[in-house]
Amino acid sequence: MIPMNGVEYVFGSGQVTAAPLRVFDAEVCAFIAELSAKLLSSPLARAMPDLVALAFWGRKANLQKLKEEFGDSAGRLGRGLCFHITPSNIPVNFAFSWLFSLLAGNANIVRLPGRKFPQVEAFCAVLAGVVRAYPEVERRNTFVRYPRDNTITAAFCAGADVRMIWGGDATITTLRSLPTPPRCVDITFADRYSVALLDGKAVGEADAEQILRLAENFYNDTYLMDQNACSSPQLILWQHDDAATRERFWDAVAECAEKKYELQDAVAVDKYTALCADAVSNRNAVKVRRRGNLLYRVELERLTSDVVACRGHGGFFYEYALRDWHELFAVVTEKFQTITCFGVDAQALRDAIVAAGLRGIDRIVPVGKAMDIGVVWDGHELIREASRLVING
């Protein structure tokens, strides 16, 4: 029981049953599948693409696939109670974090984003209508919301067997300083940097429908979350570069953004201020291009070791023409997470990354799949790491 002033219990209560369940517990899987079906049938949830993606992931067929891919889970149990610190700028990240831990057999306390996103409210409304039929799930889980307060956070950490921490490097450092039980396992997701790798020949050879689909997929990777997600590309790299095909791609992206994107006033001001600062002080910027307020592009003269500082929001991108992959590898650090690709041999790229022994780059996915979070994320096998194995012999 954790009664604390200032804590809003959005779902559940201060009393959580922390006894572990089996990995891929039958009741948990049935609950997630029903929750998924209810989200997909909810008119409110269906209007939100990120909730639809979450619901699609939780389908019964996908859960069965995940269980089969996991392999033998007979000797695996959850670790106990998992405390989740989730990002404030990605509306449905909390739900993925929670569902991964549920599948691992854990009870959960989830700190929701402070901002009341409509996605969070819609999810919780559907959840409340489903969970009553699943008492084991209901008594093992609670969602909380509270202002930034290390005293409250410390109280939750003191009882945690697992912590899933999604946040900046400073947040992780602060949370690691808070006492936890000796066997508590931390699974952390720090600041990361992602890029897109596009092949100029492939863009040039694509037909009109393929270019439209590429632009829409790129939009979903970037504008949909204002480039706030760690997997959203900030830097666009071109192999087999060609000026005409570059413009063909960016023309399609701009047209897509004009139809779909609503630029907030605050984002527009921050974006323009950043562009002016780059134009004045970034000696590595050789060209600056604008498409109204919707699309800004800063072309870099070279890749440097501090390229991870080149970050934009709301349709602000950096771009560079690669001579070869090793030019990228030379600046890759542990900060690099995802490469989204078009027209690229992903298997050859992965083999080259492994052969180079890089400290960063955990994912290579097609353009449009940057946000497809799964049970392997940031190099972590989440269900395995959030559970424990009971061996015989």
- Domain end position, chosen among 123, 158, 191: 191
**Is there a contact between 105 and 81 (Cβ–Cβ < 8 Å)?**
no
**Is there a contact between 19 and 139 (Cβ–Cβ < 8 Å)?**
no
**CATH number of the domain enclosing 27:** 3.40.605.10
Domains contained in the chain, number: 2
Closest CA relative to residue 89, chosen from 313, 323, 378:
313
- 15 and 127 part of one domain: yes
**pLDDT at site 24:** 96
Mean pLDDT, rounded, for 256-282? 89
**pLDDT at site 328:** 97
Mean pLDDT, rounded, for 123-137? 94
For the chain, what is the largest distance between any 2 Cα atoms, rounded to a whole number of angstroms? Answer: 67
**pLDDT at site 114:** 84
Q: Over the stretch 189-241, which tens digit does the pLDDT of each residue have? A: 888 999 999 999 999 999 999 999 999 999 999 998 888 888 999 999 999 99
- 181 and 71 part of one domain: yes
Residue 1 has pLDDT above 50, yes or no: no
Q: How far apart are CA 36 and CA 39, in angstroms?
A: 5
- 55 and 110 part of one domain: yes
Q: Which tokens hold the place of 281?
A: 């002080």
Task: Report the predicted TM-score, pTM, of the whole model to 2 decimal places.
Answer: 0.85
- 154 and 277 part of one domain: no
Domain that holds residue 200: 193-366
**pLDDT at site 64:** 94
Q: How far apart are CA 35 and CA 28, in angstroms?
A: 10
- 252 and 177 part of one domain: no
Mean pLDDT, rounded, for 132-141? 94
- 307 and 221 part of one domain: yes
- 202 and 238 part of one domain: yes
- 212 and 136 part of one domain: no
Is residue 389 in a domain? no
**Is there a contact between 322 and 346 (Cβ–Cβ < 8 Å)?**
no
Element (H, E) at 54: helix 49-57
**pLDDT at site 292:** 86
Average confidence score pLDDT of the chain:
92
Q: Over the stretch 288-313, which tens digit does the pLDDT of each residue have? A: 899 888 999 999 999 999 999 999 99
Residue 138 has pLDDT above 70, yes or no: yes
DSSP 117-180: -HHHHHHHHHHHHHGGG-HHHHTTEEEEE--S-HHHHHHHHTT-SEEEEES-HHHHHHHHTS--
**pLDDT at site 342:** 98
Q: Over the stretch 279-288, which tens digit does the pLDDT of each residue have? A: 888 888 888 8
Q: Which tokens hold the place of 303?
A: 């890749």
Is residue 378 in a domain? no
Is residue 235 in a domain? yes
DSSP 67-129: HHHH---TTEEE-SEEEEE--SS-TTHHHHHHHHHHHTT-EEEEEPPSS--HHHHHHHHHHHH
DSSP 220-278: HHTGGGTT-STTSEEEEEEES--HHHHHHHHHHHHHHHHHH----HHHHHHHHHHHHHH
